[in-house]
Each structure stands twice: as C-alpha cells, then as structure tokens.
Structure 1
Amino acid sequence: MKNKIFWIALILLVPLTVAGRTVQLLYMTEPATGFFKQDMAGLGIAMGAVLGAALAAVLVLCRCLRPEARPRPERNIPLAVVSFLLAAVQLYEAAAVMLTDAGLGIADVLHMLLLFGSIAFFAMLGVSCISYLPLPHILTLLPVLLWGFRLITAFTHYTGIASIAENILDIAMLCFSLFFMLEQGKFLCGDKKKPGRWLLAGGVCTAVLCAAATLPRYILAICGQGSLIHDGAMPNFTDLVLAVYIIVFAAGLFPWRQWKPVH
C-alpha cells in the first residue's frame, strides 16, 4: 500500500501539472518577459503554490510511510533502454556544446567534461542492467557533479532576481534533480541505512517538475505556438528523458504490488 500511494501521486500530478503549466503559457504569461500577466498573476501564483504544497505532501508522506526499495534487479531491460537513451541525449548535448559558434569558454569545457562523465555513468548503468558487469561506484558521483554544475550555472545564467524568479520552475527542477542523483548514488553504492526513504519521494518530485518544465514548451512548439515561449525559458530534452528514466528506475525498485522478500 505504501508504494501505491506514491504511484497514484505520480499518475495524478504529472498530467495535472503539465496541463496547468500549458494553460499558464497559453493564457497567463507574457511571452516578452516570461512573467504572469497582471490580471492573471494571482491565479498563476496560486497554481504554483498548489503544486508546491503537493510536492511537500509527497515528502511528508515519505517521512511518515518510509517505503522500502527491493534489491536492484540484476536484469532490467527497460532501465537499460532508458539509460542508453539518456546517455545518447547527453552525447548530443555535448556535441552541441563543442560545435557552438561562440567558442568554448572555461565553463563550456567543464560542462562538456561533466557531460561525458555522466554519459559514462548512464552507459555503464545500462550495460550492468543487461549483463553481469558491476557498476563502478565511483561513476555514481559523475551525474551528481553534472547536475550540481547545472544548478550553479543556472543562477549565473539568469541575471538578476527578476530573471531567477521568471525561471523558478527550472531552478526547482534542478534542485530536485540533484537531490535524486544524490539518493540514487547512495542506493547504487549500497547504502542500507534507510533504503528507499527519500529515493522514491525525490524521484516523484523530480519527474513531476521535469515534465512540467519541459513538456508544455514542447507541446506549444509542436502546435505552432512557439512564439508564446519566452526566449530565456527554452526546454532541455535531457530533462524530459530524465523524467522517463526516473519513472522506469523507480518502477524496478518500488513495484505497484507490495514486494515481499523471500527468506
């Protein structure tokens, strides 16, 4: 029953937040600034507050219910597929960084190196899911470093308090993504003190925020409404694939039906 509560929360929150964010971009946001229209600001803030309260409720439930993860399956084909997909998307992102017309600065070089490190982790995780090759524990640190770097550069990229407020959803997404990477690394390294206590809750929150931050923008672009997306809020396809990866990762560890260990 513990795991079902979290899966129900995920099933409800993802479509609701994606739909709500799409409505915000269509009718409540000024494309030129990225802020809510004056007559819609109250409703927009209220919708954000409801999402924040829902994510906080997920974390509180995690604290109270403490769902436990089962041992990671030796063979997990779906996880291998999404791991390879995430590695491929990050490889494309690294290639885009290398081919930038503006030239490579120190931050770009560091970003590219961290991307290659994260690619190595997800590729090796995929290999370990379809073979008996172990995943080197040191590799679990690499995606943590990448998402930490992305969070730091988000604050430096968004100049001024107004710009940070405009991209608050992206900031929240990166914070939870970093938290999930930390919890994932602890789990894969064999931390048995509190297995699954925060991994599932962090995964649910991260998947919801990744979907809310990316899917509505892609939906508008596909529907020919790309002009409604502010230039400073373009989606990163890596974040969308990460949401899928988290769902598949969690499904292998926290099944819908109660898992009972075999003695």
Structure 2
Amino acid sequence: MPTLYQRWLFALFSDRFNYFKAHFYWYIFLALALGSVLFLLERSNPLSNSTWLDSVFHVTSGLCETGLTVDNFSAFRLSSQVVVILAVQLGSPVMMSVMPLCIRRWCIMVKHSAKERARAMMEREREREAERAEDAASEIEREKERQRGGEDDNGVVSSPPSPYETSRPGGASRYEYMSHPPDGEGGRGGESYAEWQRERMHEIAMARRWHKERERERDLWTISGMVRRIRASVSSFPSLSISVSGTESHLLASSSSIQLQSVQS
C-alpha cells in the first residue's frame, strides 16, 4: 500500500495525466511561487543586519503602534527566524531546481490532452465517414438488385424490369430522371421529377455543409488555421489592419499622417 508521499511522487513523475496530477501540479506551482517570493524578500531586505521578518516587524510595529519592542519580541523573533531560515535557505534551492521540471511536465500534460482530443475527434469523423460509405454501398447494391431482378420467396427468378418501368411515379427509375426526365412540365411525371430534384439538391447542400464543418473542425488543430484566425482577428480592427506584403508602406503612411497632423497643430 503506497503512502501519500509515494502517491505524490508517482503523480509527479508518471506519464498518466489524470485529474489528480493536474491539480497536484497547480499546488506545486503555487508552493514554488511562494518560496520564490520568500527568497526574494529575504535577499532584497533594506535592513543590513536582519532578516525580512525583522523588516516586517518594524513596519507593522511602526504603523500599528502596538508598543512592542525588539526585546519583548526577541523570543518569538528567534524561533521564527530559525524556522524561516530553514524554510527559505534550504527549501529555495530545491524549489528552484524542481520548478523547471514541474513547468515542463505541465506543458507536456496540456499538449498531450490537446492531442488526445484531436485524435478522438478524428476517430469519430472516420467512423462517421465509414458508416456513410457503407450506407451508400448498400444503397447502390440494392438499386442494382432491383434493376437486375431477384428471387422472390418461392425461389422464382423475376424478369429484370424494363428501362421505363416505374420505381418512381414518373415513368422511369430514380437514376433515369437525371438523364431522361419525363416529358411535359405539368402532370404527374413533371411533379415527381421536380420533387426528386429538390430532394437531391437538399441532400447535396447538406453534404457540402457537413464537409465544411469537418474542414473547419480540422482547421482548428493546424498551425495554418491558427495563423488564419489571428490574421482575421487583427484585420477586424481598423487600426491594426496590417498585411504581410504591405507592412512597410502601411507604417510609412501612418508615420507621415502623424507628422502632418503634428505640423497642422
């Protein structure tokens, strides 16, 4: 049974990025920041022959006028000075040596979680594309079977349908509407063709919209997408409209306009 200290060490040096480890890194970072502040206070003490605790005592006693003197406070000052010196002088080098490791591990954790999210998104997208491909293949196979003609329940092979046999109420099959639309604008055939055409255009629009959304999601995890979003956010501000090709001319024009305004004023 590992102790709490062993669990902390395992969370610090293991490659399993879990919830406890993320919060543990934040605690380590806060402890390192506190140790650094104490170390800097002890080093940048304005009083020459005393520690930062003496400085705090003098400032607080002068502001609050508690009446305490250094002699009355000597026992507490001595014990506190020993504790602070041991904590700062011995703990600060250790904290300073561990801080780069903790920051590096935290950066690796953030990068790993981003990669995991991107990988999961790509896996879901591949599964959806595979399902759509299977559905399309099965639909094509069923359509081919209907065109060739198949066996019924009694095992009798039916004759293949004629090209003008109705699988839709227009007088031809679904795929013949595109190449051979029914004659006449009115009537039953024209209405069914228009209805099928609207349905087909709606399916195409939905497929294009889906592909655009997938491209947008894929573009979120690329460097070019990040650069494109930064340029779009910069170009949204009128005062920051700086292009890559015309940066020098834009800066020259802005400087000349500033000079003209200063001369006119």
Tell me which interval the TM-score lies in, with the shorter structure as reference length.
Answer: under 0.3
- Choose between structure 1 and 2 for higher RCO, CA contacts under 8 A separated by at least 6 residues: 1
State TM-score, norm by structure 2.
0.20
